[in-house]
């Protein structure tokens, strides 16, 4: 059970599978959109990725580490600066090699 945005979310294995699939989809779409210069759509997909990632992190038996927190801060800092090429690089190359990547890609 997780309290997110004032709502209680219960997650079973099938729900976590759906969240994983949506995370993978949205991160892939965000990368594609940022690479193609479609920043508004990339930002939308990045937020959807984050919305699906948070419950997974809360339910993960593996504690995601300080490095993962710093990586997420770097991702959102690049977004706020409008550095979309670097943001796409972070999503494509850094996330998969992190604890978050372990969660997403096993």
49: closest CA among 90, 20, 13?
20
**Residues 84 and 38: beta-carbon distance below 8 Å:** no
pLDDT digit string (tens) for 2-28? Answer: 434 444 445 677 788 899 999 999 999
pLDDT at 53 exceeding the cut of 50? yes
Q: Model-level pTM?
A: 0.84
Report the pLDDT value the prediction gives residue 106, as an integer from 0 to 100: 81
**15-105: what fold?**
1.20.120
Please state the domain extents for the chain.
15-105
């Amino acid at each position: 059970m997780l309290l997110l945005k004032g709502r209680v979310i219960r997650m079973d294995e099938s729900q976590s599978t759906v969240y994983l699939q949506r995370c993978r989809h949205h991160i892939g779409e965000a990368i594609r959109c940022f690479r193609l210069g479609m920043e508004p759509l990339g930002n939308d997909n990045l937020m959807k990725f984050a919305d699906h990632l948070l419950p997974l992190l809360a339910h993960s038996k593996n504690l995601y580490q300080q490095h993962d927190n710093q990586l997420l801060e770097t991702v959102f800092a690049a977004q706020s600066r409008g550095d979309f090429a670097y943001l796409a690089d972070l999503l494509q190359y850094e996330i998969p090699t992190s604890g978050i990547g372990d969660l997403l890609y096993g």
